[in-house]
Structure 1
Amino acid sequence: MEKIHYRGFWRSLNQAWRGLHYVWKTEGHMQFHAFAGVLVLAGAWWFRLARWEWLLLFYAIGSVFLSEVLNTAVELVVDLVQPNFHPLAGMAKDVAAGAVLVTVIQAVIIGIGLFWLPMWRWIGG
């Protein structure tokens, strides 16, 4: 049986947290996504959504966070290997940003699907 190396695990975990901290401090969009996520979860609590609806919301919010983290990683690597302007470097960044947009659109559609009926009932429709 192979020995588990806890020191390596904790080092990797620390590096991951350092990366997330970097994204949080440098990317205003990540902070906006987090704020929006908190509002969505507050709405889920207010409307007493079902457990499966909460899980779908956590999936959507997590997907947006993931795409924003990966977008930041792509931007950093592109800046490292191509510090001067190059059309392909710019396109790589645009494509990564497009992935965030696709994920946000998906999350918005999920949110509309889950909140439409509760909000309709709440406003008296």
Structure 2
Amino acid sequence: MKGDGSSSYSLWHRISFALSGIVQAAKAEKNLQIQLAIAFIVLTLAWILEISRTEFFIILLLIGQVVSLEMVNTALERVVDLVSDEWHALAKAAKDIAAGAVLSMSVISAIIGGMIFWPTF
């Protein structure tokens, strides 16, 4: 926010704010909790099946994208709720579009993950 002096915070403070946001989202958002549990299972499976380093990096990128999009979706939903207490078609559309972004990335990630893991079975 302009004028709040945030630019004068040290790098450590800015990192701690970001980590606080991750923890808040992980504690409050059921979908993020589910996605993190799935990520843990996928990473465990990747380790057990000894997928290639390149495939592992792809899996990490996909997990990072899904988790990051979910946090952006959460932030957008909170901002929309803050701005308006009343139902509005544009607010609904904004929330639905952000949720759709998470869903589409999740589906694409599942397809790519399937393509990586399928040959190992």
TM-score, structure 2 as length reference: 0.90
The residue that corresponds to 2:85 in the other structure is 83
Matched, 1:110 2:112: yes
The percentage of aligned residue pairs carrying the same residue is: 37
Matched, 1:74 2:76: yes
Deviation by residue 1:70-123 (Cα, 9 ceiling, x = unmatched) = 00010011011112111110110000000100110111011111011101xxxx
Alpha-carbon distance change, 6 to 74 in structure 1, aligned in 2, over 3 angstroms: closer
CA distance in 2, matches of 1:57, 1:90: 32
Choose which of 5, 20, 32 in structure 2 pairs with 1:18: 20
Partner SS, residue 111 of structure 1: helix
Aligned length: 115
Matched, 1:56 2:58: yes
CA distance in 1, matches of 2:47, 2:21: 30
Shift of 1:7: 5.1
Q: RMSD across aligned C-alpha pairs, in angstroms?
A: 1.5
The residue that corresponds to 2:99 in the other structure is 97
CA distance in 1, matches of 2:88, 2:8: 43
CA distance in 1, matches of 2:57, 2:63: 10
The structure having more radius of gyration, on CA atoms, is 1
| Structure 2 residues not aligned, in runs of 5+ | 1-6
CA distance in 1, matches of 2:87, 2:56: 43
CA distance in 1, matches of 2:21, 2:44: 27
Shift of 1:35: 0.6
